[in-house]
Structure 1
Amino acid sequence: MNLHGYLRPLQHQHTVPITYRFKVEGEELPLNGLLGEEIRIDFTGEKACIYCGRPIKKTYNGGSCYPCFRDRAENDLCIVKPHQCHYHKGTCRDPSFGETHCMQPHVVYLALSDDVKVGITRKTNQINRWIDQGAVAAVPIAEVPDRKTAGEIEVHLAQTIKDKTNWRRMLKNEIADKDLSDVRSSLMSRIPARYRDFFDDRREVCTFQYPQKKIPEKIKPLNLDKENRIKGRLIGVKGQYLIFDCGVLNIRKFCGYKVKVSI
């Protein structure tokens, strides 16, 4: 079984365990049934922008060429700092993108991947977001009308709860013994009064299980720029990582790389 083309993010579906598909351009390969199998990924040396398709020597922000990184709304600074959204100022790189992605209902959530973290995402994208982060549990704590408001609440809560995941601990299943419902209840008094009408304490905690045959004892990042060939036995998939017996490969980091995949 072989695939040949440019890498795209892993596709997934919320089942028990999560169902994963390895995507190379228009082709997809079911991954769950390949646990325990040897997989070889050869990097051809070619890269192309995931947005415009032009050949490039270097990717930016997970697969962009520099012009797309500089100009596209998906790569604006406010994507990583949503409280700085400038749609209302009329300076959005692409107002139509702002309308469909930023001026839409968002949720502020708590996720447990290694420890409890706070984050935000569009309401329609929350399950995908939690799986991409390798969360074993997640729960919305507030629903707001737009991305900027969600970002403001996140910044406030990040003063007491972290907003980053320790990806090494996440992949080793080193998860804090904390109850998200209890943490959510403790946050009510910390949310400024102007945001409390958005707070929601009625949501159920959503849980996730990932396809894994073995938990790696050590985490060795695999790098297609340094290793043109990666060959190992697939022992798990979590977040956007393929977990091999020889190391872990962050697929999102190498989107736009042209590869040959052999089973």
Structure 2
Amino acid sequence: MQYEGVLRKMETEWDQPIRYYLLFPGDFVRMNDLLDRQVGLRFLKYECLSCGLDRPIYRQGFCRSCFFETPQAGEWIMHPEKSKAHLDQEDRDLAYEKKVQLQPHIVYLANSSNVKVGVTRKSQVPTRWIDQGAHEAIEIVETPNRYLAGITEVALKEHVSDKTNWRKMLTNNLEDVDLFAWRNDLKPHIPEEALPYFIDSTQETQLEFPVLRYPEKVKSLNLEKTPEFTGRLMGIKGQYLIFEDHTVFNVRGSEGYYVALEIA
């Protein structure tokens, strides 16, 4: 069985374990059903997620020119504290920026490889935690816009990491921690403007991923260097496919690649 299309991050559905879907034109693949089966990936061309042209992907699924022009790749995406829609100031497309930035945002703690602080739209909970491969997470602050969430993250990352060690996350070399205690310890460091939005009543969310066996060490599959790959799928965590030979493939990191997916 074969499917063709441009890669976008896998869609997810809450369950224990998480359910994963890879979307193709007019069809989709239930990735959980492929566990312990031979799966092949073949790189065919590029397809920029903005212009749709066969141009080398620069970042985030966009070709170089689109990355510096499309509002979906504005600097405030990676740096929420640089959001300006609440000031009625345009970056690239004010209408789009208002739509995304002027909605409830969550500042959270997640434990994927270590405890980290992050920001996401409220509508993206728990999707954001799933994409990061977090096995536990907790909300700290719910703000009315992206800017307030961004300055809160900046303040808190002086005291806790804002990065995930993806190799550690994929080998599952993890420890459970008391995120509720972490949350309370960080409360004094929340900026005054965001403190009224502190969530008094919250609890940890536990996540389980569909993995038959974790790798001891990981080797990353790069489709530009290895255009064809076949292996037995042993698990899915975050946005990674984990294969029997310890190869891992970052689906989200390969957005904009047009591929053939072959299932034995």
Q: TM-score range by the shorter chain?
A: over 0.9
Q: How many residues align?
A: 261
Q: CA deviation at 1:177?
A: 3.1
Q: TM-score, normalised by structure 2?
A: 0.95
Question: Gaps spanning 5+ residues in structure 1: where?
Answer: none
Distance 2:158 2:15 in 1: 34
Q: TM-score, normalised by structure 1?
A: 0.95
1:237 to 2:236 alignment: yes
- 1:54-91 residue CA offsets vs partner (Å, 9 max, x unmatched): 221x1122211223211111111111111111332623
**SS of equivalent to 2:229:** strand
The equivalent residue for 2:96 is 97
The equivalent residue for 2:123 is 124
**SS of equivalent to 1:36:** coil
Moved more, 187-196 or 108-117: 187-196
Q: CA deviation at 1:98?
A: 1.2
Q: Which runs of 4+ in 1 moved over 6 A?
A: none
The equivalent residue for 1:80 is 78
The equivalent residue for 2:48 is 49
**SS of equivalent to 2:15:** coil
Distance 1:109 1:103 in 2: 18
Cα pair distance change 1:25/1:7, threshold 3 Å: farther
**CA RMSD between the two structures:** 1.3
1:107 to 2:106 alignment: yes
Cα pair distance change 1:164/1:25, threshold 3 Å: farther
**Identity over aligned residues, as a percent?**
39
Letter in 2 for 1:37: R
**SS of equivalent to 1:79:** helix
- 1:96-130 residue CA offsets vs partner (Å, 9 max, x unmatched): 11111111110100111111100011111121111
The equivalent residue for 1:11 is 11
Distance 2:251 2:157 in 1: 27
1:183 to 2:156 alignment: no
**1:1-263 to 2 correspondence within 5 Å?**
1-44=1-44, 46-56=45-55, 58-87=56-85, 88=87, 90-246=89-245, 247-263=247-263
Q: CA deviation at 1:187?
A: 1.4
8 Å CA contact 1:211–1:238 kept in 2: the answer is yes
Q: CA deviation at 1:172?
A: 0.8
Letter in 2 for 1:86: K
